[in-house]
Amino acid sequence: MPLQKIWEQSGRKKLSQQLNKFPIHNICKMKSGTLLCLQGSVPLSSINRNGEVMAKTIFVLLDGCGFGVGERNLGYAEHLIEQGLGAKYRVLGELPSMSRPIYETLLTGLPVCRHGISNNLVVRRSNCISVFDLCRKNGLKTAASAYHWISELYVKSPFHYAKDRIQLQSNSSIEDGIYYFEDSYPDSHVFADAEFLRERSNPDFLLIHSMNIDDAGHRFTSDSREYETATAKANIVLSSCLPQWLEQKCSVLITADHGMNEVGLHGGNTELQRDAPLYLFANDVLPGDFSSKHISQLYIAPLLCHLLGIKPSDEMKNPEETGVKFFGE
């Protein structure tokens, strides 16, 4: 029976019982939930439904980073694009260009009118299928170093500041999370928290969600030195982390929820508020700068599913509809 069919009918446990019948990645034997291979061990959580070893996937969400400020200041990501080591796109953000609604859009692939998180004051758990849910369904580990609104959407709501900042081994969509609730919480700390989770939990899908760019934009507007500086500081943190992630063969997707306008606001329908960068680094990505045309923000979630080697939800869009060829054979 093909591995795909074994997975669909019985899941990973049945698959593990059948692996000795298939010459996948020079597998020798299976012991204690780990595939012992000729070139090292591979956790079962890293095997997809086709029997392929998946890359760990890191989703970096730079809150409030508009396309222009990102292009001007995210120098290391831009360097990797110039060197043919990744792909760059321009994302047209969904409306309203507000944070909590777009978090849900990014992680479910659904427009605001479908998922119902219509503004930042809608405080409740998501009732739609997210990338986190799909990971758990497929036996993958999830983690997040993120603003507390992510916890409210995918773990529990409302967020209790004293009890919910660190949540480990949760039975919710996000198994392990460290959440902050001050917009000025340093981006460097957000990434340090994420590295702790990577070392501790070895997640298959990790969300890293920073807030300093958005905070600077609100306080000083998009036309400020402070907004540019906050993005430049994020570049320093990214340039410290990306080499290690890519050396470890992680897939990395970097984008933003929205931008910022000249008076320090977002939520509306202007280029400054809606346009966001998208950088994609993965073994099978077709490299290049494809930012001359927009792609919809609704394609982020299914792109994450591709990187994770899992089937998107039935309501997610097919990235092939964009006319952009994101991945090679």
Q: What mean pLDDT do residues 19-45 have?
A: 41
Amino acid 8: pLDDT: 46
Question: Which residues sit opposite 288 in a β-bridge?
Answer: 87
- 106 has pLDDT over 80: yes
pLDDT at 54: 66
The per-residue pLDDT for 245 is 98
pLDDT, averaged across the chain: 89
Q: Which of 45-54, 117-126, 235-244, 284-293 has the lowest mean pLDDT?
A: 45-54
pLDDT confidence of residue 285: 97
Closest CA to 150 of 141, 162, 161, 159: 159
The answer, yes or no, to whether residue 82 has pLDDT greater than 70, is yes
* Residue 13 scores a pLDDT above 90: no
- State mean pLDDT over 122-133: 98
Output the CA–CA distances (angstroms, integers) from residue 247 to 74, 242, 243, 281, 283, in the order listed.
19, 8, 6, 11, 11
pLDDT at 53: 57
DSSP assignment of 103-171 equals HHHHHH---HHHH---STT--S---S--HHHHHHHTT--EEEEEEHHHHHHHT-SS--TTTSSEE-S-S
pLDDT value, residue 274: 98
- Give the confidence band of 324 by pLDDT, cuts at 50, 70, 90: very high
pLDDT of 47 reads 58
Residue 145: name the closest of 174, 117, 179 by CA.
179
> Which residue in this structure is represented by tokens 């170093």?
145
pLDDT at 39: 37
Model confidence at 37: pLDDT above 50: no
pLDDT of residue 253: 98
- pLDDT tier at 55, thresholds 50, 70, 90: confident
Q: Between 50 and 145, whose confidence is greater? A: 145
Q: Is the pLDDT of residue 196 over 80?
A: yes
Average of pLDDT values for 262-268? 98
Mean pLDDT of 292-306: 98
Write down the pLDDT at residue 95: 98
Q: pTM of the prediction?
A: 0.87
Alpha helices in the chain (DSSP H): 3-18, 67-73, 75-82, 99-108, 112-115, 131-137, 148-154, 187-201, 212-220, 225-247, 271-274, 300-308
Question: Which segment of 17-31, 196-210, 214-228, 241-255 scores lowest on mean pLDDT?
Answer: 17-31
pLDDT band at 46 (very low <50, low <70, confident <90, very high): low
Share of the chain above pLDDT 70, in %: 83
